[in-house]
Structure 1
Amino acid sequence: MIKEVFIIGIGGAVGSILRYTTGQYIAKHFPHAIPTGTLLVNIIGCLLIGFLIGFFDKQQIINAHWKFLLITGFCGGFTTFSTFAAENYNLITNNQIPQALLYIGLSVILGLLAVWAGLSISRLIA
């Protein structure tokens, strides 16, 4: 288990650094009213996680270390949105539409409420 955690950590560190640098580059060179850097990172991450899942499946690569490094680590560090999208895709393709809609709705609504709650708590304490 320690080896897997270390492998995921390496992939996550590289993904996080790339997320930050990509986001900064896009924001600097393509300023818009919305966070374009984050949007682009999320879309690239979704494309990449879909490709990797399909590639590993098609090539019948069963070495879990590569999956830990690239999918869980790198894609997870690059953007957790890619994991969220892949999980919803799996729910939809397994004909679990109500569960997918519930997961999407709860993630967005509860995520926004959690940010609001965190900010509110920080204002009370700080």
Structure 2
Amino acid sequence: MSKIFLEDIKIYAYHGVLPEENIIGTYYIINAEIHTDLWKASESDDLNDTISYADLNEIIHNEMKIRSKLLEHVAGRIISKINDNFPEISYIKLKISKTSPPMEGEMKGASIELEKSFKPNN
């Protein structure tokens, strides 16, 4: 199995249930693990034989711009959009962390993680 990782993508966005979260915003950290066959690209050295990290990053950034109440909803949209654009992917795991959740006490963040398997269309 071959994997692509996008690690610790830091994006300022406006998600949350509380009204002030949609006004003030905060940083989010996104991590993605994507399973697909990378062997053809390992031999060809051709971008057309793999999935562009830049394209994956762009999808994540674009979906993070769309305000949502729940991080689960954001993650579901990102996973669906990636799968729609790259049907050769067999599995996606996505973790989104809100770095400054409006809760009592100090914490590094609050996170959700969604994962989904697909039948790849090669």
Larger radius of gyration: 1
Q: Between the two structures, name the one with larger relative contact order (CA 8 Å, sep ≥ 6).
A: 1
Report the TM-score, using the length of structure 2 for normalisation.
0.31
**TM-score (normalizing by structure 1):** 0.30
- Looking at secondary structure, tell me which structure has more helix per residue: 1
